[in-house]
């Protein structure tokens, strides 16, 4: 796998930089041995240039120095630019032998000396954007790698052609999951390839435990989509283009005995136009808007999923009755015209069947979908990187918030797939289950 995922040496990203803050400029000095040139950024205009030396400084020159671990990007506003840099990072595991980091500290560097000449309206906008930048500094779940493309699943990484693989990581990135795409544009314009660090938002978890005498490594990656983002209740349903709120791609990767396997499933709000206006009630009502557009919006959404994942099984977990029931009826009716062998819909009233504690009853849902799971398989390669199996379809799960019910259901599906993979490579015997191996089962549940 390494030969298909390593960035070319000439395209290696800077991993450590010394940031010098002078009165008139910021200087980024590579201290990772990858380059001799410094990046100079004007504090007045945000103009970027590569230079050979630090600016002259005397004993009275004021400056600050600190180590940073990458540039998230540049935000251009009416009164200037803002550089966003990584000041702290934690290594949270490895992905095909490459370190994965979580952002734990950000710093915003303003380049806007024209502040005093701007209009009141521009200053108001600037204040609002500055507040957003402050919020960005507190954003959790930002992950990155200097060496491998985190926006792509293991199967898509494996299938990259040689020409595509030779591109910089940001050129390989899946736009749906590239969270700093807009911020990278000024760096792209200046051809600063070694500073172009792709960032995803989501989670990266990694456990290793034994099943019998075999070590098994399991990774769970969640990639949150950049389209139709927003907080719970304020972002529901899909937009007119078919992009659903709360859309997340989850990939479970297993490594053992030289084999690597992965399985990708997705979640997202019901993909038609509906909303939940926040008011003083405990549970605000659901409203379906532009009902006549529901079929076309839903069709766009599912056809887009087909292009990316192949077949799609929609698992709808909402209640049969009440406000959720009205949404369920609209979903079922709107998807009916496009149902086929490759687009299927299953409703499972999670609360009615499982209540709050009887999650073992999800076996009833599994019985309904196991033929689909077995047909569309999972991705599997051997120790030579040869593809043995290919995943040809995914499961799209939703409840109302795409949280609790969806989490439990996706965990069940992931566990069943993992058992199938471990049986395939001989770690588990036929009919054996993860639950019969308490040490591994306990660690695996951490990922859920």
* Average pLDDT for the chain: 90
User: What are the angstrom distances between the C-alpha of 265 and each of 74, 184, 393?
Assistant: 33, 28, 9
Structure tokens of 202?
A: 């989501």
Q: What is the number of H-type helices and E-type strands within the chain?
A: 12, 20
pLDDT, position 299: 96
Mean pLDDT, to the nearest integer, of 158-184?
92
- Across the range 366-389, mean pLDDT stands at 97
Q: Compute, in degrees rounded to 10, the torsion defined by CA atoms 14, 69, 198, 27.
A: -70
pLDDT over 70 at 8, yes or no: no
pLDDT at 163 over 70: yes
Does residue 147 register a pLDDT over 70?
yes
Q: For the chain, which residues make up each domain, given as ranges?
A: 2-195, 212-437
For 63-80, the pLDDT digits (tens) are 899 999 999 999 887 778
> 127 versus 383: which is more confidently predicted?
383
Higher pLDDT, 349 or 229: 349
pTM recorded for the entire structure? 0.90
Please report which confidence band the pLDDT of residue 48 belongs to, taking 50, 70 and 90 as the band edges. Answer: very high
Residue 291 is predicted with a pLDDT of 78
What confidence score (pLDDT) does residue 363 get? 96
Angle at alpha carbon of residue 157, lines to 151 and 162, rounded to 5°: 125
Give residue 281's pLDDT. Answer: 77
Residue 289 banded pLDDT, cuts 50, 70, 90:
confident
């Amino acid at each position: 796998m390494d030969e298909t995922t390593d960035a070319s040496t000439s395209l290696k990203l800077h991993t450590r930089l010394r940031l010098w803050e002078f009165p008139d400029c910021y200087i980024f000095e590579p201290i990772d041995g990858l380059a001799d040139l410094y990046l100079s950024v004007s504090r007045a205009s945000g103009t970027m240039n590569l230079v050979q030396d630090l600016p002259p400084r005397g004993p009275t020159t004021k400056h600050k120095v600190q180590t940073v671990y990458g540039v998230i990007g540049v935000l251009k506003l009416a009164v200037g630019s803002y550089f966003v840099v990584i000041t702290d990072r934690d290594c949270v595991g490895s992905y095909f032998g490459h370190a994965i980091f979580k952002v734990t500290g950000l710093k915003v560097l303003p380049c806007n000396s024209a502040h005093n000449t701007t209009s009141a309206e521009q200053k108001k906008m600037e204040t609002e954007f500055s507040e957003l930048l402050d919020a960005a500094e507190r954003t959790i779940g930002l992950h990155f790698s200097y060496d491998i493309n985190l926006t792509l699943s293991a199967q898509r990484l494996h299938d990259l052609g040689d020409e595509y693989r030779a591109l910089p990581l940001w050129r390989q990135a899946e736009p749906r999951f590239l969270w700093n795409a807009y911020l990278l544009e000024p760096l792209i314009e200046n051809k600063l390839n070694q500073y172009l660090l792709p960032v995803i938002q989501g989670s990266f978890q990694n456990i290793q435990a034994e099943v019998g005498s075999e070590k098994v490594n399991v990774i769970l990656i969640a990639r949150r989509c950049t389209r139709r983002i927003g907080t719970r209740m304020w972002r529901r349903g899909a937009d007119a283009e078919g992009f659903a709120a709360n859309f997340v791609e989850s990939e479970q990767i297993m490594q053992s005995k030289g084999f690597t396997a992965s399985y990708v499933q997705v979640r997202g709000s019901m993909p038609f136009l509906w909303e939940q206006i926040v008011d003083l009630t405990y549970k605000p009502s659901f409203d379906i808007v532009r009902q006549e557009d529901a079929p076309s919006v839903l069709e766009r959404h599912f056809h887009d999923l087909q292009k990316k994942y192949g077949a799609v099984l929609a698992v709808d977990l909402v209640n049969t009755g009440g406000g959720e029931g009205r949404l369920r009826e609209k979903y079922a009716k709107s998807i009916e015209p496009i149902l086929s062998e490759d687009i299927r819909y299953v409703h499972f009233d999670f609360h009615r069947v499982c209540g709050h504690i009887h999650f073992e009853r999800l076996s009833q849902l599994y019985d309904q979908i196991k033929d689909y799971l077995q047909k569309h398989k999972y991705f599997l390669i051997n120790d030579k990187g040869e593809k043995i199996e290919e995943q040809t379809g995914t499961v799209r799960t939703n409840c109302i918030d795409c949280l609790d019910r969806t989490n439990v259901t996706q965990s069940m599906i992931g566990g069943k797939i993992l058992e199938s993979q471990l049986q395939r490579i001989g770690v588990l015997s036929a009919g054996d289950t993860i639950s019969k191996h308490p040490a591994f089962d306990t660690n695996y549940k951490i990922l859920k």
